[in-house]
Structures are given as structure tokens and as C-alpha cells.
């Protein structure tokens, strides 16, 4: 499947060395997926207009202020295992029943924030997740607000649910399916790494991006549930596999793009020398 050029550029910037990507490298990277140069340049203009990217230097881009909050939160996937703690049975609760639903942009931001924090709807307007994240309710509240949840949403600790609601709360996630997905994705990543050396550089870059993107997305949206809701040993093994795959993918892309970035830098140095002469 051909990725959307705007999404592809943002993901490349998230993974870029020093957080910068030249237009030349963006064009070459998108070209691996059959995206034409004109489409890439149009995407860059639109991303800049939306504040999602900004110029870092002539012909080079970095993430803009509108992408900073989401990028910071998404970037925490590498420390997923360090963000969980033992669960004592309490729940982080978010009540949004008093919030409006007419502002579609606000509603999308709210839904995305709740999803990224692993919250699920128990009763109408009441979302829960196990209170097993480091920093507790205060940390969840801060992250939700950063991601776009309105400030007047109630975020609090809930405990001693009645037995029926406690049973329903524990069933909000399919723990067996999550555990199975950890195992399946880990095996897929490990199998690809074993054959990566036999691929040509462009095919290796393209495949590593697509597989890595799917695996990272799975981890970004993982609810980070505690035992006994999921098998945390399987999750730990999955996280380790994604980290190793990410390192391998970065090496592949670095070798592919390094000459392009070096050429862009030489061109910029030459342009400046002409301006000063």
C-alpha cells in the first residue's frame, strides 16, 4: 500500500537524525513508494501551512509547533516498559459527558487522546484504564491535556467499583488478542531481520519502513495493561523486538539517505559562498 505523502514525511521526520530532513531526501524517500516529486513538494507546502513542519535551513525541514505535542508523546514508545508500574486494582477515570460534540476537530483530538492513553468507555461518557502508569492520575491528566483533551474534563482515580462494573471494566480490552498480537508481531519482525541482508538497499528500506511503522503504531496505541489482563512477559519481548528492528531500520535508512543529505549540505554551502562572494 502506498503511504500518504504527508504522513510519510511526518514519520520520516520523527525518525530523522537530528530531527531534520532535506527536501532532496524527502523526495528520494517518497520515491521508494512510487510517490512523485511534485506530490512530495505539495505535501511539504501543506504541512508547513498547517504548522506541522517548518524550515530548519534552506531546503531542509523539521517538525513544526503544531506537531510538537503529539511528536513528544508518540516518541515515548521507546520507553513503554519504563512507564508501567504494579497495578493495585484502581482505575484512572475520565468523564467527558459534559463536553460538547459539535466541534469535530475537538472531538477528534479528544478521541485520539483517550485512545493513546488506553482508555475505554465503560458507561456513557465515562472512560477507564487501569491505574498502572508511572505518575498515576496526575501524569495521565497532563498527557491527555497535551494531546487535546479539554481542560474541563474530569480526570480522577476510581476504586472499589461494584462487582458488575469491575467485571465489565476488565473486559473492555481483549487481553488474549493483545497477547497474541505481541507474539505474532515479534515473530514477524525477527523473521524479516533474518532475511534483510539478502535484499537490495531500496527494498530493505521500503520494507523496513512499512513493517516498522506498523509495529511502532501497534506499540504507540497499546494500552499498556497490567497482569492479569495481558501477559506482560510477551509484551516485554515484543517491545524488545521493536526496539531492535527500529535500530536495524535506522541503519538501513541512514546508509541510503546519508549521501543525499551530504549533497544537500554541499549545495547549501556552495550557495552561501556564492552569496558572500
- Where residue 24 falls among pLDDT bands split at 50, 70, 90? confident
pLDDT above 50: residue 269: no
| Phi-psi map region of 276: left, alpha, beta (phi>0 left; psi -120 to 50 alpha) | alpha
pLDDT above 80: residue 61: yes
pLDDT score at 266: 55
Domains 5-70 and 90-158 share a fold: no
For the chain, the structural domain boundaries read 5-70, 90-158, 175-274
pLDDT score at 262: 58
182-197: pLDDT as tens digits: 999 999 999 999 999 8
Looking at CATH, the fold of the domain delimited by 90-158 is given as Alpha-Beta Plaits (3.30.70)
User: For residues 64 and 100, what is the distance between their CA atoms, to the nearest angstrom?
Assistant: 29
205-264: pLDDT as tens digits: 999 999 999 999 999 999 999 999 999 999 999 999 999 999 999 888 888 887 766 555
pLDDT score at 78: 87
- Where residue 127 falls among pLDDT bands split at 50, 70, 90? very high
pLDDT above 70: residue 1: no
CATH architecture, domain defined by 5-70: Orthogonal Bundle (1.10)
2 vs 153, more confident: 153
Amino acid at each position: 500500500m502506498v503511504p500518504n505523502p504527508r504522513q510519510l514525511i511526518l514519520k520520516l521526520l520523527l525518525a530523522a537524525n537530528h530531527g531534520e530532513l532535506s527536501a532532496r531526501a524527502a523526495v528520494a524517500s517518497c520515491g521508494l513508494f512510487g510517490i512523485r516529486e511534485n506530490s512530495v513538494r505539495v505535501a511539504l507546502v501543506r504541512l508547513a501551512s498547517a504548522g506541522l513542519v517548518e524550515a530548519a535551513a534552506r531546503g531542509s525541514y523539521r517538525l513544526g509547533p503544531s506537531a510538537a505535542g503529539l511528536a513528544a508523546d508518540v516518541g515515548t514508545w521507546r520507553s513503554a516498559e519504563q512507564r508501567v508500574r504494579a497495578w493495585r486494582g484502581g482505575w484512572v477515570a475520565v468523564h467527558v459527558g459534559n463536553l460538547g460534540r459539535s466541534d469535530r476537530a475537538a472531538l477528534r483530538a479528544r478521541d485520539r487522546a483517550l485512545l493513546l492513553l488506553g482508555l475505554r468507555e465503560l458507561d456513557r461518557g465515562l472512560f477507564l484504564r487501569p491505574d498502572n502508569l508511572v505518575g498515576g492520575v496526575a501524569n495521565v491528566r497532563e498527557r491527555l491535556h497535551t494531546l487535546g483533551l479539554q481542560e474541563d474534563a474530569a480526570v480522577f482515580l476510581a476504586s472499589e467499583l461494584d462487582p458488575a462494573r469491575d467485571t465489565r471494566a476488565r473486559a473492555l480490552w481483549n487481553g488474549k488478542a493483545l497477547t497474541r498480537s505481541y507474539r505474532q508481531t515479534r515473530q514477524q519482525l525477527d523473521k524479516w531481520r533474518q532475511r534483510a541482508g539478502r535484499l537490495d538497499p531500496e527494498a530493505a528500506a521500503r520494507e523496513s519502513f512499512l513493517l516498522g511503522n506498523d509495529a511502532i503504531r501497534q506499540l504507540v496505541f497499546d494500552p499498556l495493561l497490567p497482569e492479569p489482563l495481558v501477559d506482560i512477559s510477551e509484551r516485554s519481548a515484543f517491545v524488545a523486538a521493536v526496539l531492535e528492528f527500529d535500530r536495524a531500520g535506522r541503519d538501513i535508512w541512514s546508509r541510503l539517505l546519508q549521501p543525499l543529505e551530504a549533497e544537500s549540505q554541499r549545495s547549501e554551502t556552495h550557495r552561501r559562498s556564492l552569496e558572500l562572494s
